[in-house]
Amino acid sequence: MNTEARKAELAARIVPHAPPSLFDNPYTDDQYRRVIEVVRREGPWKTIIAQHFASVEELIATMSGAMPEGVEPSLDAFVTPTFRGYLAKDSVCLYPELEDAFYNSDFLARVRNYWGAQYALPDQLLFNMNGACENFDPGHLDAAEFRGISHTNSPVWLMNTMAKSGLFRDFQKKKAQIVSWFYRGDIGGGFTYWPNGIRSAPARVPTPVWNKGVVVENEMMFHRGEGNGPVERRHPAGLAFQSMLGADPESDGWLMTTDGKVIDRVADEEIRFLLHWSADVFMDKAELETVLEHKDDLTHERVFEMFVADLRRQGLTFEVPSDPLHDRAFIGLLSATYDLGEPVAYPAEAPGPREMREAA
Protein backbone atom coordinates (compact mmCIF):
# COMPACT_ATOMS: atom_id res chain seq x y z
CA MET A 1 0.00 0.00 0.00
CA ASN A 2 1.32 3.42 -0.98
CA THR A 3 0.98 5.23 2.35
CA GLU A 4 1.73 8.91 2.94
CA ALA A 5 4.96 7.91 4.63
CA ARG A 6 6.01 5.90 1.60
CA LYS A 7 5.06 8.77 -0.76
CA ALA A 8 7.24 11.07 1.30
CA GLU A 9 10.12 8.57 1.14
CA LEU A 10 9.82 8.30 -2.64
CA ALA A 11 9.47 12.06 -3.08
CA ALA A 12 12.65 12.71 -1.11
CA ARG A 13 14.63 10.95 -3.85
CA ILE A 14 13.41 13.24 -6.63
CA VAL A 15 15.64 16.30 -6.39
CA PRO A 16 17.98 17.71 -9.05
CA HIS A 17 21.74 17.38 -8.92
CA ALA A 18 22.01 21.11 -8.27
CA PRO A 19 19.67 24.11 -8.11
CA PRO A 20 18.66 25.66 -11.45
CA SER A 21 20.96 28.39 -12.71
CA LEU A 22 19.37 31.37 -14.50
CA PHE A 23 21.11 33.48 -17.11
CA ASP A 24 20.22 36.04 -19.78
CA ASN A 25 20.35 35.94 -23.58
CA PRO A 26 20.93 32.23 -24.27
CA TYR A 27 20.23 32.85 -27.97
CA THR A 28 21.29 35.67 -30.26
CA ASP A 29 18.60 37.67 -32.03
CA ASP A 30 19.71 36.08 -35.31
CA GLN A 31 19.45 32.54 -33.91
CA TYR A 32 15.94 33.23 -32.62
CA ARG A 33 14.92 34.69 -35.99
CA ARG A 34 16.13 31.57 -37.80
CA VAL A 35 14.36 29.28 -35.33
CA ILE A 36 11.05 31.07 -35.94
CA GLU A 37 11.58 30.90 -39.69
CA VAL A 38 11.94 27.12 -39.45
CA VAL A 39 8.91 26.80 -37.16
CA ARG A 40 6.74 28.78 -39.58
CA ARG A 41 8.02 26.95 -42.65
CA GLU A 42 7.85 23.39 -41.32
CA GLY A 43 4.53 23.51 -39.43
CA PRO A 44 1.79 22.89 -38.53
CA TRP A 45 2.67 21.19 -35.25
CA LYS A 46 0.82 18.69 -33.05
CA THR A 47 -0.16 19.10 -29.40
CA ILE A 48 2.36 17.81 -26.87
CA ILE A 49 -0.09 15.29 -25.50
CA ALA A 50 -0.76 13.79 -28.96
CA GLN A 51 2.96 13.16 -29.49
CA HIS A 52 3.79 11.36 -26.25
CA PHE A 53 0.81 9.52 -24.75
CA ALA A 54 -1.45 6.71 -25.92
CA SER A 55 -3.61 6.51 -22.78
CA VAL A 56 -4.50 8.59 -19.75
CA GLU A 57 -2.65 6.08 -17.55
CA GLU A 58 0.58 6.86 -19.42
CA LEU A 59 0.05 10.58 -18.94
CA ILE A 60 -0.72 10.28 -15.22
CA ALA A 61 2.47 8.23 -14.75
CA THR A 62 4.53 11.34 -15.64
CA MET A 63 2.75 13.51 -13.08
CA SER A 64 1.71 12.87 -9.50
CA GLY A 65 0.41 9.38 -10.20
CA ALA A 66 -3.14 10.17 -9.16
CA MET A 67 -6.12 11.27 -11.25
CA PRO A 68 -6.97 14.90 -10.40
CA GLU A 69 -10.26 15.16 -8.56
CA GLY A 70 -13.26 15.84 -10.80
CA VAL A 71 -11.46 15.01 -14.07
CA GLU A 72 -12.84 12.27 -16.29
CA PRO A 73 -10.25 9.60 -17.16
CA SER A 74 -9.68 10.50 -20.81
CA LEU A 75 -6.86 12.18 -22.68
CA ASP A 76 -9.25 14.84 -23.99
CA ALA A 77 -9.65 16.09 -20.41
CA PHE A 78 -5.95 17.03 -20.38
CA VAL A 79 -5.67 18.65 -23.80
CA THR A 80 -4.37 22.21 -23.72
CA PRO A 81 -3.45 24.37 -26.73
CA THR A 82 0.28 23.73 -26.32
CA PHE A 83 2.17 22.48 -29.36
CA ARG A 84 5.60 20.94 -29.86
CA GLY A 85 8.15 20.33 -32.57
CA TYR A 86 11.72 18.97 -32.74
CA LEU A 87 14.61 20.89 -34.26
CA ALA A 88 17.26 18.30 -33.32
CA LYS A 89 17.02 14.66 -32.26
CA ASP A 90 19.51 12.00 -31.22
CA SER A 91 22.41 14.45 -31.48
CA VAL A 92 21.50 15.34 -35.09
CA CYS A 93 20.39 18.85 -36.03
CA LEU A 94 17.41 18.46 -38.37
CA TYR A 95 17.81 21.88 -39.99
CA PRO A 96 21.32 22.96 -41.07
CA GLU A 97 20.58 26.65 -40.53
CA LEU A 98 20.23 25.93 -36.79
CA GLU A 99 23.45 23.99 -36.25
CA ASP A 100 25.13 26.84 -34.38
CA ALA A 101 22.20 26.94 -31.94
CA PHE A 102 22.29 23.18 -31.33
CA TYR A 103 26.05 22.48 -31.30
CA ASN A 104 26.42 25.32 -28.85
CA SER A 105 29.79 25.61 -27.07
CA ASP A 106 28.44 27.92 -24.38
CA PHE A 107 25.58 25.53 -23.59
CA LEU A 108 27.98 22.58 -23.42
CA ALA A 109 30.22 24.45 -21.00
CA ARG A 110 27.25 25.38 -18.82
CA VAL A 111 25.97 21.81 -18.46
CA ARG A 112 29.46 20.44 -17.81
CA ASN A 113 29.87 23.06 -15.10
CA TYR A 114 26.43 22.22 -13.65
CA TRP A 115 27.53 18.61 -13.10
CA GLY A 116 31.26 19.20 -12.62
CA ALA A 117 31.73 16.82 -15.56
CA GLN A 118 34.37 16.39 -18.24
CA TYR A 119 32.16 15.64 -21.24
CA ALA A 120 28.76 16.54 -22.69
CA LEU A 121 26.94 15.57 -25.88
CA PRO A 122 24.00 17.58 -27.30
CA ASP A 123 20.94 15.36 -27.51
CA GLN A 124 17.78 17.26 -28.48
CA LEU A 125 16.43 20.70 -29.28
CA LEU A 126 12.66 21.08 -29.19
CA PHE A 127 10.17 23.90 -28.82
CA ASN A 128 6.82 24.33 -27.11
CA MET A 129 4.50 27.12 -28.16
CA ASN A 130 1.07 28.36 -27.24
CA GLY A 131 -1.15 31.39 -27.17
CA ALA A 132 -3.54 31.85 -24.25
CA CYS A 133 -3.42 28.53 -22.43
CA GLU A 134 -4.50 26.98 -19.14
CA ASN A 135 -2.37 24.42 -17.33
CA PHE A 136 -3.93 21.86 -15.00
CA ASP A 137 -0.66 19.96 -14.67
CA PRO A 138 0.11 19.61 -10.94
CA GLY A 139 3.81 19.33 -11.76
CA HIS A 140 5.68 16.76 -13.82
CA LEU A 141 9.06 15.29 -14.60
CA ASP A 142 10.67 15.20 -18.03
CA ALA A 143 11.52 11.78 -19.38
CA ALA A 144 14.50 10.33 -17.55
CA GLU A 145 16.76 8.09 -19.62
CA PHE A 146 18.75 5.04 -18.63
CA ARG A 147 21.44 2.93 -20.23
CA GLY A 148 19.49 0.86 -22.75
CA ILE A 149 16.19 2.65 -22.07
CA SER A 150 15.61 5.95 -23.86
CA HIS A 151 13.13 7.86 -26.01
CA THR A 152 14.31 5.82 -29.00
CA ASN A 153 12.79 2.60 -27.65
CA SER A 154 10.59 3.45 -24.67
CA PRO A 155 7.53 5.57 -23.84
CA VAL A 156 7.74 8.58 -21.55
CA TRP A 157 5.57 6.96 -18.86
CA LEU A 158 8.00 4.06 -18.43
CA MET A 159 11.09 6.23 -18.06
CA ASN A 160 9.42 8.53 -15.54
CA THR A 161 8.06 5.65 -13.48
CA MET A 162 11.52 4.11 -13.43
CA ALA A 163 12.90 7.39 -12.09
CA LYS A 164 10.20 7.78 -9.44
CA SER A 165 10.64 4.20 -8.22
CA GLY A 166 14.30 4.68 -7.34
CA LEU A 167 15.02 1.11 -8.49
CA PHE A 168 17.14 2.07 -11.48
CA ARG A 169 19.26 4.92 -10.17
CA ASP A 170 22.52 3.09 -10.91
CA PHE A 171 21.52 2.95 -14.59
CA GLN A 172 20.17 6.49 -14.95
CA LYS A 173 21.95 8.75 -17.41
CA LYS A 174 23.15 12.14 -16.30
CA LYS A 175 21.23 14.79 -18.21
CA ALA A 176 20.95 18.56 -18.21
CA GLN A 177 18.79 21.00 -20.09
CA ILE A 178 18.85 24.65 -20.99
CA VAL A 179 15.27 25.87 -21.10
CA SER A 180 14.69 29.31 -22.60
CA TRP A 181 11.56 31.43 -22.81
CA PHE A 182 10.35 34.09 -25.22
CA TYR A 183 7.15 35.65 -23.88
CA ARG A 184 6.44 39.37 -23.59
CA GLY A 185 3.04 38.94 -21.97
CA ASP A 186 2.25 39.91 -18.40
CA ILE A 187 -0.71 37.60 -17.77
CA GLY A 188 0.78 34.44 -16.27
CA GLY A 189 3.26 32.43 -18.29
CA GLY A 190 5.91 31.91 -15.62
CA PHE A 191 7.69 28.72 -14.60
CA THR A 192 7.13 26.98 -11.25
CA TYR A 193 9.67 24.45 -9.98
CA TRP A 194 10.48 22.52 -6.81
CA PRO A 195 14.30 22.55 -6.47
CA ASN A 196 14.21 20.74 -3.10
CA GLY A 197 11.45 18.27 -3.94
CA ILE A 198 7.66 18.49 -3.95
CA ARG A 199 7.49 18.31 -0.14
CA SER A 200 9.33 21.63 0.04
CA ALA A 201 8.55 25.17 -1.01
CA PRO A 202 8.35 25.98 -4.72
CA ALA A 203 10.28 28.65 -6.62
CA ARG A 204 9.32 30.37 -9.84
CA VAL A 205 10.60 32.35 -12.78
CA PRO A 206 8.10 35.22 -13.23
CA THR A 207 7.15 36.92 -16.48
CA PRO A 208 7.83 38.73 -18.67
CA VAL A 209 10.63 36.42 -19.81
CA TRP A 210 12.26 37.31 -23.09
CA ASN A 211 15.40 35.34 -23.94
CA LYS A 212 15.82 34.12 -20.37
CA GLY A 213 17.53 30.74 -19.89
CA VAL A 214 17.95 28.28 -17.05
CA VAL A 215 20.25 25.27 -16.62
CA VAL A 216 18.27 22.44 -15.03
CA GLU A 217 17.94 18.70 -14.51
CA ASN A 218 14.22 18.42 -15.26
CA GLU A 219 14.17 14.62 -15.07
CA MET A 220 14.71 14.92 -11.31
CA MET A 221 12.90 18.18 -10.59
CA PHE A 222 9.15 18.57 -10.65
CA HIS A 223 8.13 21.66 -12.59
CA ARG A 224 5.25 23.18 -14.53
CA GLY A 225 4.61 25.96 -16.99
CA GLU A 226 2.01 28.39 -15.67
CA GLY A 227 -1.20 29.25 -17.49
CA ASN A 228 -1.03 32.45 -19.50
CA GLY A 229 -3.09 34.91 -21.45
CA PRO A 230 -6.71 36.03 -20.96
CA VAL A 231 -8.63 33.33 -19.07
CA GLU A 232 -11.56 33.41 -21.49
CA ARG A 233 -9.26 32.49 -24.40
CA ARG A 234 -7.32 29.65 -22.76
CA HIS A 235 -9.47 26.79 -24.11
CA PRO A 236 -10.68 27.55 -27.66
CA ALA A 237 -13.96 25.99 -28.76
CA GLY A 238 -13.15 22.95 -30.89
CA LEU A 239 -9.80 22.21 -29.23
CA ALA A 240 -9.10 18.48 -29.47
CA PHE A 241 -6.37 15.86 -29.14
CA GLN A 242 -5.62 16.19 -32.87
CA SER A 243 -5.55 20.02 -33.03
CA MET A 244 -2.54 21.67 -34.68
CA LEU A 245 -0.82 25.06 -34.77
CA GLY A 246 0.88 26.55 -37.80
CA ALA A 247 1.79 29.82 -39.46
CA ASP A 248 -0.98 32.10 -40.70
CA PRO A 249 -0.05 32.68 -44.38
CA GLU A 250 -1.82 36.06 -44.31
CA SER A 251 0.01 37.54 -41.31
CA ASP A 252 2.91 37.02 -38.91
CA GLY A 253 0.48 35.28 -36.56
CA TRP A 254 -0.60 31.68 -36.15
CA LEU A 255 -3.62 29.49 -36.96
CA MET A 256 -4.95 26.80 -34.63
CA THR A 257 -6.93 24.11 -36.46
CA THR A 258 -8.86 20.94 -35.72
CA ASP A 259 -9.35 18.58 -38.66
CA GLY A 260 -8.50 21.43 -41.01
CA LYS A 261 -10.99 23.90 -39.50
CA VAL A 262 -9.61 27.10 -37.97
CA ILE A 263 -10.60 27.29 -34.28
CA ASP A 264 -8.41 30.21 -33.22
CA ARG A 265 -6.09 32.88 -34.55
CA VAL A 266 -3.15 33.81 -32.34
CA ALA A 267 -1.25 37.05 -32.84
CA ASP A 268 2.52 36.65 -32.79
CA GLU A 269 2.86 38.95 -29.77
CA GLU A 270 0.55 36.62 -27.79
CA ILE A 271 2.74 33.54 -28.30
CA ARG A 272 4.60 31.99 -25.38
CA PHE A 273 7.57 30.24 -27.00
CA LEU A 274 9.95 27.87 -25.19
CA LEU A 275 13.17 26.31 -26.47
CA HIS A 276 14.35 23.16 -24.70
CA TRP A 277 17.94 22.09 -25.38
CA SER A 278 19.22 18.94 -23.70
CA ALA A 279 22.49 17.07 -23.40
CA ASP A 280 23.90 13.83 -22.07
CA VAL A 281 26.63 14.45 -19.49
CA PHE A 282 29.53 12.16 -18.55
CA MET A 283 31.61 12.69 -15.44
CA ASP A 284 34.75 11.12 -16.91
CA LYS A 285 36.04 8.94 -19.73
CA ALA A 286 35.05 5.71 -17.96
CA GLU A 287 31.42 6.80 -17.73
CA LEU A 288 31.50 8.02 -21.33
CA GLU A 289 32.70 4.61 -22.53
CA THR A 290 30.20 2.72 -20.37
CA VAL A 291 27.30 4.63 -21.91
CA LEU A 292 28.42 4.93 -25.52
CA GLU A 293 29.74 1.38 -25.75
CA HIS A 294 26.61 -0.07 -24.07
CA LYS A 295 28.67 -1.98 -21.52
CA ASP A 296 25.91 -2.34 -18.92
CA ASP A 297 22.54 -1.66 -20.54
CA LEU A 298 19.06 -2.48 -19.30
CA THR A 299 16.49 -4.28 -21.44
CA HIS A 300 12.72 -4.01 -21.17
CA GLU A 301 12.65 -7.59 -19.90
CA ARG A 302 15.07 -6.77 -17.08
CA VAL A 303 13.20 -3.57 -16.21
CA PHE A 304 9.89 -5.36 -15.79
CA GLU A 305 11.52 -8.21 -13.88
CA MET A 306 12.81 -5.63 -11.41
CA PHE A 307 9.42 -3.92 -11.20
CA VAL A 308 7.60 -7.22 -10.65
CA ALA A 309 10.07 -8.28 -7.96
CA ASP A 310 9.60 -4.99 -6.12
CA LEU A 311 5.79 -5.13 -6.39
CA ARG A 312 5.79 -8.64 -4.96
CA ARG A 313 8.19 -7.62 -2.22
CA GLN A 314 5.56 -5.07 -1.21
CA GLY A 315 2.95 -7.84 -1.02
CA LEU A 316 0.87 -6.74 -4.00
CA THR A 317 -1.25 -9.29 -5.83
CA PHE A 318 -1.51 -8.90 -9.61
CA GLU A 319 -1.17 -10.73 -12.91
CA VAL A 320 1.92 -10.06 -14.97
CA PRO A 321 0.62 -8.91 -18.38
CA SER A 322 1.90 -10.28 -21.66
CA ASP A 323 2.55 -6.74 -22.91
CA PRO A 324 3.49 -4.63 -19.88
CA LEU A 325 4.56 -1.68 -22.05
CA HIS A 326 0.98 -1.11 -23.16
CA ASP A 327 -1.23 -2.84 -20.58
CA ARG A 328 -3.30 -0.01 -19.11
CA ALA A 329 -4.13 -1.82 -15.86
CA PHE A 330 -0.47 -2.64 -15.20
CA ILE A 331 0.61 0.92 -16.04
CA GLY A 332 -2.00 2.14 -13.56
CA LEU A 333 -0.68 -0.25 -10.90
CA LEU A 334 2.89 0.98 -11.34
CA SER A 335 1.76 4.58 -11.36
CA ALA A 336 -0.19 4.17 -8.11
CA THR A 337 2.58 2.18 -6.43
CA TYR A 338 5.22 4.81 -7.11
CA ASP A 339 2.94 7.82 -6.67
CA LEU A 340 4.77 10.61 -4.87
CA GLY A 341 1.68 12.68 -4.16
CA GLU A 342 1.14 16.24 -5.29
CA PRO A 343 3.32 19.21 -4.32
CA VAL A 344 2.52 20.48 -0.84
CA ALA A 345 2.59 24.12 -1.93
CA TYR A 346 2.25 26.33 -5.00
CA PRO A 347 3.22 29.98 -5.45
CA ALA A 348 0.46 32.43 -4.54
CA GLU A 349 0.87 33.94 -8.04
CA ALA A 350 0.40 30.54 -9.72
CA PRO A 351 -2.02 28.30 -7.80
CA GLY A 352 -2.16 24.56 -8.38
CA PRO A 353 -4.88 22.80 -10.41
CA ARG A 354 -6.96 21.88 -7.37
CA GLU A 355 -7.06 25.50 -6.22
CA MET A 356 -7.84 26.66 -9.75
CA ARG A 357 -10.81 24.31 -10.06
CA GLU A 358 -12.11 25.28 -6.63
CA ALA A 359 -11.88 28.95 -7.56
CA ALA A 360 -13.76 28.27 -10.80
230-260 pLDDT tens trace: 999 999 999 998 999 999 999 999 999 999 9
Three-state SS sequence of 242-273? CCEEEECCCCCCEEEEECCEEEEEECHHHCEE
Dihedral (C-alpha) 220, 55, 303, 333: value to the nearest 10 degrees?
90
pLDDT at res. 74:
63
Superfamily of domain 4-347: q2cbj1_9rhob like domain (2.60.120.620)
Residue spans of the chain under pLDDT 50: 65
Give 72's contacts (C-beta < 8 A, 6+ positions apart): none
pTM: 0.92
Give 38's contacts (C-beta < 8 A, 6+ positions apart): 87, 95, 97, 98
Contact 128, 82 (CB under 8 A): yes
pLDDT at res. 1:
62
Every domain of the chain and the residues it spans: 4-347
Contact 190, 206 (CB under 8 A): yes
Contact 256, 266 (CB under 8 A): yes
208 forms bridges with which residues in the sheet?
none
Per-residue burial over 300-314, b = 16 or more CB atoms within 10 Å of its CB, e = otherwise: eeebbebbbebbeee
Give 231's contacts (C-beta < 8 A, 6+ positions apart): 132, 134
pLDDT at res. 358:
61
281 forms bridges with which residues in the sheet?
120, 174
**Burial of 183: CB neighbours in 10 Å, binned 0-12, 13-18, 19+:** buried
pLDDT at res. 73:
58
pLDDT at res. 64:
53
Report pLDDT digits (tens) over 24-58.
Answer: 999 999 999 999 999 999 999 999 988 877 666 77
- Strand (E) or helix (H) holding 337: helix 328-337
Reduced to 3 states (helix: H, G, I; strand: E, B; else coil), residue 15 is coil
